[in-house]
A and B are shown apart, each in its own frame.
Chain A
């Protein structure tokens, strides 16, 4: 199959960047989306031009490295899938595919489709951990956790930090990411004692990193490759409100 690729090319962080249009033929539908790009980069290299820079690592939807806007949608056309899990059978001969990096003030473009997502690290560094020493591992099931809560905490913990939520948000907000990272700790006995402190610290870091404010459009939930829901945002707000109003010492 033949595809027209419209790709955002930007040599470096300071470069203005622009769309380049290419023809890419000989694609078979069993190719993954990233393989299609690999093959195209071979062609570019053979022609002596700079290949398209894009991020990837695991290529099985678990590391959170890959992703860009594909025809205006984060991670492409499939619900609940990262870009590396999309295959060319989702497209047909003659299609045009537009590739643009995830954009946000907090995600500066490094090159082509690669953006710097270290703003997420600053949020994790602010409180995405447990600071109590728990000692050696206890016997399993010493502290029973209700099944429903364990499941919800696990769902939040499936966040791979890809940044699709920020990219899809009309406000460039990182609320879904931050709330998932808060929730998977705050819901479990290990994280519960520090839950208010954690919510305040991580929300402050999120704001400091220049992410936008949530307007509840729910675009993040719609494009999250892990299907994480906005109920975690509500829960984060609850933790923050309660903590700031009633649990603040000093």
Chain B
């Protein structure tokens, strides 16, 4: 049997898949944020960046399909482990169970995951495919597309709020997910545990605050002018 399939059979193996795919997504999302901060430098920078990505050609498709595979594997395993754990907790405490150390971010992983999936669908329909965008321009039709698409979309208050709420859940997902992922992969060492947890919270805060800054600045017309 293929070693990955053999590993996947156990609950731990499923968590390993989640940890690896999760950490790939963390890396990807941080790069995504890095690219999008170009919004603050103005249209020229943002569109030049968007152009570069589009010019990757076949490589872009390799990345897109790769990310799709990563997301599907992550969700697939998330559903599998959640079902196993729900079955194991079939009999809940009638008098309640006290929470001693578990964090909100840890307890919101599943709800947050669902919100993130919905967000990914909307986000792609909005800014990649243009299906739900009021005035979508394809990248090919001239250089101005990315900057224009983003400003128009985020000037819609409900959309901007949905973006901000979603990235808060991404931030919470990071805060537990990064430290949890390392622990799952066997990377727990008393000397590094403080750093592992702090990095997790730090990157969680960064991804939420960074993305909210872009969305809010656009919504309040600090980006994109009148």
Q: Is the CB of B97 within 8 A of A216?
A: no
B14 on interface, CB distance cutoff 8 Å = yes
Residues of chain A lying within 8 A (CB to CB) of residue B176: 216
> In whole angstroms, what is the CA distance A178 to B10 when docked?
14
How many chain-A residues does the 8 Å CB contact rule pick out?
Answer: 51
B188 on interface, CB distance cutoff 8 Å = yes
B81 on interface, CB distance cutoff 8 Å = yes
* Chain A residues within 8 Å of B, Cβ to Cβ: 6, 8, 19, 69, 71-73, 98, 100, 103-106, 168, 170-173, 200, 203-204, 206-207, 210-219, 221-223, 230-231, 233-241, 244-246, 248
Partner of A210, one of B3, B88, B107, B187: B88
Residues of chain A lying within 8 A (CB to CB) of residue B10: 200, 203-204, 207, 240, 244
CB distance from B117 to the nearest CB of A (A): 18
> In whole angstroms, what is the CA distance A71 to B96 when docked?
8
Q: Is the CB of B88 within 8 A of A211?
A: yes
> In whole angstroms, what is the CA distance A221 to B85 when docked?
18
CB distance from B175 to the nearest CB of A (A): 12
CB-CB nearest in chain A for B193: A231
B94 on interface, CB distance cutoff 8 Å = yes
Q: Is the CB of A231 within 8 A of B91?
A: no
> In whole angstroms, what is the CA distance A100 to B91 when docked?
12
Q: Is the CB of A72 within 8 A of B85?
A: no
Q: Is the CB of A219 within 8 A of B188?
A: no
CB-based closest 3 A-B pairs: A238-B186, A212-B88, A234-B188
* Chain B residues within 8 Å of A, Cβ to Cβ: 3, 6-7, 10-16, 81, 84-103, 106-107, 109, 176, 179-180, 183-190
Residues of chain B lying within 8 A (CB to CB) of residue A235: 186, 188
Q: A217-B106, A235-B186 are in contact. Are A8 and B94 (CB under 8 A)?
A: yes
With a 10 A CB-CB cut-off, give which of A216, A218, A240 has the most chain B CB atoms: A216
Residues of chain B lying within 8 A (CB to CB) of residue A237: 12, 15-16, 183-186
Residues of chain B lying within 8 A (CB to CB) of residue A238: 185-186
Q: Is the CB of A8 within 8 A of B102?
A: no
> In whole angstroms, what is the CA distance A240 to B10 when docked?
9
Partner of B89, one of A171, A231, A246: A171
> In whole angstroms, what is the CA distance A98 to B94 when docked?
10
Return 27 A-B CB contacts under 8 Å, by A number: A19-B95, A71-B98, A72-B97, A73-B97, A73-B100, A100-B93, A103-B89, A104-B88, A105-B87, A105-B90, A168-B97, A170-B85, A171-B85, A206-B11, A207-B11, A213-B15, A215-B109, A216-B184, A221-B101, A230-B188, A235-B186, A235-B188, A237-B185, A239-B186, A241-B7, A244-B6, A245-B3
Q: A173-B88, A248-B6 are in contact. Are A241 and B186 (CB under 8 A)?
A: yes
Q: Is the CB of B93 within 8 A of A217?
A: no
List 10 extra interface pairs beyond A72-B98, A217-B103, A236-B12, CB under 8 A. Answer: A172-B88, A207-B10, A211-B88, A213-B15, A217-B101, A221-B101, A230-B183, A237-B16, A240-B10, A241-B13
Residues of chain B lying within 8 A (CB to CB) of residue A106: 88
